[in-house]
Chains A and B, each alone.
Chain A
């Protein structure tokens, strides 16, 4: 379980990314965080694995306040959290398989990883993860030779190779076309259902959020302004979250 208790985050330039956030995220939930750009969605997700560190409050993951973790404990925390980014963030000049194997670095010794000596189980897991997202035939290609959708699936496979309890996805489909976006979302949903991995995704497309989410969290100006199951959400809810009428840009469209 992930619990935010009065979490605030002020950036060094004085901008307040999060304002007194209180949330409880249960194991296995599939949550979509919505809001306009700059609303603090990204800050919310990134504070869970502390790519940005909240300045106030408690952020409790599995009973431990992660804001009090030292460097070594933080790595433990991160090891169990997979992350997917808008721009895939693969190492372009490396093969797909090696990119996926970096998911196992957290449990591989420094010396072994320096020479690329990954265990057989990890290699099998990596290949298996690639197979789950349907691109195991591309394992030995260079990452930058793949299309955007394929690269995003490589990054999902990388996250899977961590054997995570939680997957965070920061605008995972913002750089993809609508059909590819739906494929990626379906992959994430499938993994969530099959492995029971808690999944938290930032999206700004309303229809997509409605289609895939179990629960929706709405953010505006660093505050959580809506939190509820998808059944309670209507177009009006989004207008309240966004603070303006719905526009065409807010909808990605069907497959």
Chain B
């Protein structure tokens, strides 16, 4: 055995876990990231002392303005919450149906036409870059204030997410059964139905529920731009300084979203 020491990996008898080059790179990255934090705090004037100084105001606000919640307002909130839920449910259902065929076109192992595949991917990427709030603003401008605009915005938004998630699931399936079914003389649609769908079904259902959770939360905000749901009364009551009502809205929304998330994630756990 030669006693030749490797200078980069042994330093004062301690064996380094990282290569010295890696260490330098990591240090640079850390400096840059910390620099970005300092810059953003500086430009937004988000100094830590503001939070401490502002604490009493926040506590006063919660104690004097938010409590007690206005219980007489519950029935109004309930109606709006149901509207929000319906928006989320309808838009999710529609997007789950339409996302499936699009996902096959956006999966390289099913859509063998490279140009067509890239076009579908490109369109999906563009759709995904548009935030749901912007979609809602656009649709309100086209179709007017109301629930339909909200449903449309959520539909387009979740279509982008679902098609992305499902097409990636399709690309990761076991290709062997596909080959076997194709070898029986089945056509492409039959191959998809019997070799692909059974393999993606658990993930497909799970993603559908996940998007439902996202849409419930997103539809709360959409009301702020007039696209229906609980956001409409939240915005209205906030600008009227009816904090008792605002408190009722926030509490009930919190409870509703928590319940939906809990049920949905439990179901998803059992699926996979």
Given contacts A91-B199, A113-B190, contact A103 B184 (CB under 8 A): yes
Report if A81 contacts B (CB, 8 A). Answer: yes
Contacts of B177 in A (CB 8 A): 89-92
Q: Is B190 within 8 A of A105, CB to CB?
A: yes
Contacts of A51 in B (CB 8 A): 179, 182-183
SS class, residues of chain B in contact with chain A: helix
Report if A19 contacts B (CB, 8 A). Answer: no
Considering the chains assembled together, what is the distance between the CA atoms of A77 and B184 in angstroms?
Answer: 9
Report if B116 contacts A (CB, 8 A). Answer: no
Report if B180 contacts A (CB, 8 A). Answer: yes
Given contacts A93-B198, A105-B190, contact A85 B184 (CB under 8 A): no
User: Which of chain B's residues has its CB closest to A81's CB?
Assistant: B183
Considering the chains assembled together, what is the distance between the CA atoms of A77 and B202 in angstroms?
Answer: 34
Question: Which residues from 79 to 105 on chain A have a C-beta closer than 8 Å to any C-beta of chain B?
Answer: 79-83, 85, 87, 89-94, 98, 102-103, 105
Q: Is A78 within 8 A of B198, CB to CB?
A: no
CB distance from A157 to the nearest CB of B (A): 12
Q: Is B184 within 8 A of A110, CB to CB?
A: no
Interface size on B, residues (CB 8 A): 21
Which residue of the partner chain, among B176, B185, B187, B195, contacts A87 with CB atoms under 8 Å? B176
Contacts of B32 in A (CB 8 A): none
Report if A141 contacts B (CB, 8 A). Answer: no
Tell me the number of A-to-B contacts counted with CB atoms below 8 Å: 78
Report if A254 contacts B (CB, 8 A). Answer: no
Considering the chains assembled together, what is the distance between the CA atoms of A87 and B184 in angstroms?
Answer: 16
Residue-wise, chain B 176-216 has the 8 Å CB interface mask toward A (1 for contact) of 11011111111101100111001101100000000000000
Q: Is B187 within 8 A of A110, CB to CB?
A: yes
Considering the chains assembled together, what is the distance between the CA atoms of A92 and B184 in angstroms?
Answer: 17
Interface size on A, residues (CB 8 A): 31
CB distance from A109 to the nearest CB of B (A): 10
Q: Is A105 within 8 A of B198, CB to CB?
A: no
Considering the chains assembled together, what is the distance between the CA atoms of A85 and B189 in angstroms?
Answer: 22
Report if A229 contacts B (CB, 8 A). Answer: no
Contacts of B180 in A (CB 8 A): 83, 85, 89-90, 102, 155, 158
Considering the chains assembled together, what is the distance between the CA atoms of A87 and B174 in angstroms?
Answer: 11
Which residue of the partner chain, among A83, A98, A114, contacts B189 with CB atoms under 8 Å? A114
Contacts of B198 in A (CB 8 A): 91-94
Considering the chains assembled together, what is the distance between the CA atoms of A155 and B183 in angstroms?
Answer: 12
CB distance from A126 to the nearest CB of B (A): 12
Q: Is B194 within 8 A of A91, CB to CB?
A: yes
Contacts of A91 in B (CB 8 A): 177, 181, 194-195, 198-199
Report if A179 contacts B (CB, 8 A). Answer: no
Given contacts A91-B195, A93-B201, A114-B193, contact A78 B187 (CB under 8 A): no
B residues sitting closer than 8 Å to A (CB atoms) are 174, 176-177, 179-187, 189-190, 193-195, 198-199, 201-202
Q: Would you give 18 A-B contacts (Cβ < 8 Å), ordered by A?
A: A51-B179, A51-B182, A51-B183, A78-B182, A78-B183, A79-B185, A82-B184, A83-B180, A90-B177, A91-B194, A91-B198, A92-B199, A102-B184, A105-B186, A108-B190, A114-B193, A162-B184, A162-B185
